[in-house]
Amino acid sequence: MIPILDYEKTEESAIFQRNTPQSQVTEPVQKIIAQVCSQGDRALFHYTRLFDKVDISSLEVTGEELEAALEQTDKALLSVLSSAAENIKAYHSRQKRTGFSFSPEPGVVLGQKITPLEKVGIYVPGGTAAYPSTVLMTAIPAKIAGCGEIIMVSPPEISPAILAAAKIAGVDRIFRVGGAQAIAALAYGTQTIPRVDKIVGPGNAYVAEAKRQVFGQVAIDMIAGPSEILIIADEKSSPAHIAADMLSQAEHDRLASAVLITTSRSLAEQVQKELEAQVSRLPRKEIARASLEGQGKIILAASIPQAMEISNRLAPEHLELMVESPMDYLDAIKNAGSVFLGRHCPEPVGDYWAGPNHTLPTGGTARFSSPLSVDDFVKKSQFTAYSQEALQKAGKKIAYFAQAEGLEAHARSITIREEGL
């Protein structure tokens, strides 16, 4: 049973400590990356047979296969995917940046230019589950950013729904390869798969470790950890709704975290009972129960402002505010990946439909990280232009500054122009 903890009477470690999973696959992933670097496509075929138990004759999905997938996908699902894609586009289009330039004084122009990344890779998990939502949430921001080529990798056999989502989102090329080997292929390139500038998307422990190891060779979005939800609720909230929302994340993973903070002991006890009743009816009840018992908790706070303080320290991936006038508390939220306001806005609204991204910082990294966005698919370059007159005006101060740092050649780069050489 999920524990109820009184914040004022409980050790801080019981409230704030996370069970952060440690990588157990560092060496195997190193070997896989090395093999892909040295053998290219040959290594990809080998690891696909070894791990996916599939013999494939080609890596790239053809246009004909893509069209066939559209035909095989349920028409109702296609309609839902298309509508969700429009919502995601509408939200992310507002994130698009423009450069700027200005002249602070005569003869000087300063500015910043925005350049889309040329090639980006998106990783979409496969296996027993198909997540077309991941395709939409990763590819659409890249498309809006103006990336030159969007390359998707996913383990075979790729489900028609994922291929349909890729078509809707505007993915340019798709390869049937997964795991650490797919990340290595995107980072270093092979005979078939081009090297990209950035890799985004979730995956298993092998994928996460591979992203960690190739970072620097290529950019990555984040190292995603187990899913999290934190709900702040007052006494007027429905225990059944709260329990359902907590379980929506607990069913992901045994290490997923579902936390409720409330000012009402009565509500806490009702939610505790609801969780027991609802978890037993879930297809993934063993996973959800393990999550609740291992990582879940209900915290009793003295007030809603105190609940906000606790939440800011936990910095959750998903935060639901099931309180009166939730917009009044928005400014008090400092650390959260995505915030869901009100009693009728459960977290799955954001997973699938509303438009904001569902690729979010986990493990407390919302203290310094942001959701995936259009910003992740562009880079910024700054530029400076000085006329001869402007350099003459500032030259002595620049040279003096350089000499103060002991860098005479820097100073000489300025003074040589003043000397007319």
Residues taking part in catalysis: 317-318
CA distances 275 to 242, 288, 328, 332, 347, Å, are 9, 10, 29, 29, 17
HEC per residue, 136-204: HHHHHHHHHHCCCEEEEEECCCCCHHHHHHHHHHCCCEEEECCHHHHHHHHHHCCCCCCCCCEEECCCC
Cβ atoms within 10 Å of 139's Cβ, excluding its own: 29
Integer Cα distance of 190 and 40 in angstroms: 5
Q: Could you tell me the CA-to-CA distances from 363 to 255, 316, 337 in Å, in that order?
A: 11, 7, 11
**CA-CA distance, 203 to 359, in Å (whole number)?**
12
Element (H, E) at 404: helix 388-404
Q: State residue 154 phi and psi, 5-degree precision.
A: -160, 145
- What is the arrangement of strands in the sheet containing 100-102, beginning at the earlier edge strand? 100-102, 108-116, 378-386
Whole-angstrom Cα Rg for the chain: 26
Estimate the crossing angle of helix 160-169 against helix 63-72, to 10 degrees. Answer: 110
Q: Identity (one letter) of the amino acid at 14?
A: A
Q: Are 7 and 299 in contact (CB under 8 A)?
A: yes
The arrangement of strands across the sheet holding 257-262 comes to 4-6, 297-300, 257-262, 228-233, 318-322, 338-341
Name the residue type at position 233.
Answer: A
* Secondary structure percentages of the chain, helix, strand, coil, to 5: 50, 15, 35
The structure tokens listed for 199 are 């890799």
